[in-house]
Amino acid sequence: MIRIVTDNGSDITLEQAQALNVERVVLETAFEDGVCPMDTDEDYIRFYDKLKASEKLPITSRPAPQQYLDIYLDAKEKGDGVVVIALSSGLSGTYESACVAKEMAEYDDIRVIDSHQAVMSQRILVEHAVKLRNAGRTLDEIVSGVKDVRHRVRVIGIIGSLVYLRKGGRIPPALALLGDALGIKPVITVENKVIQPLGKVRGVKAGIAQAYKMMDQDGIDPAFAPCFGYTSNAEMGERFMQDTMEKYGLRKAGFSRVSGIIGTHLGTDSIGVAYVKKHED
Q: What confidence tens digit (pLDDT) does each residue in 107-144 have?
A: 999 999 999 999 999 999 999 999 999 999 999 999 99
pLDDT score, position 39: 94
What is the residue type of 110? I
Residue 12: closest CA among 270, 262, 257, 275: 257
- From the candidate CATH numbers 3.40.225.10, 3.30.1180.10, 3.30.950.10, 3.30.1540.20, the one assigned to the domain spanning 153-276: 3.30.1180.10
Q: Domain extents for the chain?
A: 2-27+62-150, 153-276
- pLDDT-derived band at 45, boundaries 50, 70, 90: very high
What's the mean pLDDT in 7-16? 96
Q: Residue 177 has what pLDDT? A: 67
Convert the pLDDT of each residue in 76-107 to its tens digit: 999 999 999 999 999 999 999 999 999 999 99
More confident residue, 33 or 173: 33
Question: How confident is the model at residue 209, as a pLDDT?
Answer: 97
* Mean pLDDT for all residues in the chain: 94
Model confidence pLDDT, tens digit, residues 167-182? 776 656 665 666 777 7
Please indicate whether the domains covering 2-27+62-150 and 153-276 agree at the CATH topology level. no
27 to each of 41, 154, 207, how far by Cα in Å?
A: 16, 23, 30
DSSP per-residue codes, 200-217: EEESHHHHHHHHHHHHHH
Residue 68 pLDDT level (bands cut at 50, 70, 90): very high
- Is residue 197 predicted with pLDDT exceeding 90? no
Residue 51 pLDDT: 94
> Which of 22, 170, 134 is closest to 86 using CA atoms?
22
The pLDDT score that the predictor gives to residue 91 is 94
Can you give the pLDDT at residue 165? 77
| pLDDT at position 171 | 57
Task: Show the beta-strand stretches assigned E in the chain.
Answer: 2-7, 22-25, 28-31, 34-36, 59-61, 81-86, 110-114, 153-158, 184-191, 194-202, 227-230, 254-257, 271-276
Q: Please check the confidence at residue 152 and state whether its pLDDT lies above 90.
A: yes
Band (151; pLDDT cuts 50, 70, 90)? very high
CATH topology of domain 2-27+62-150: Rossmann fold (3.40.50)
Q: Give residue 281's pLDDT.
A: 56
pLDDT at 80: 98
Mean pLDDT confidence for 39-64: 93
State the Cα–Cα distance between residues 170 and 67, nearest whole angstrom. Answer: 32
pLDDT of amino acid 226: 98
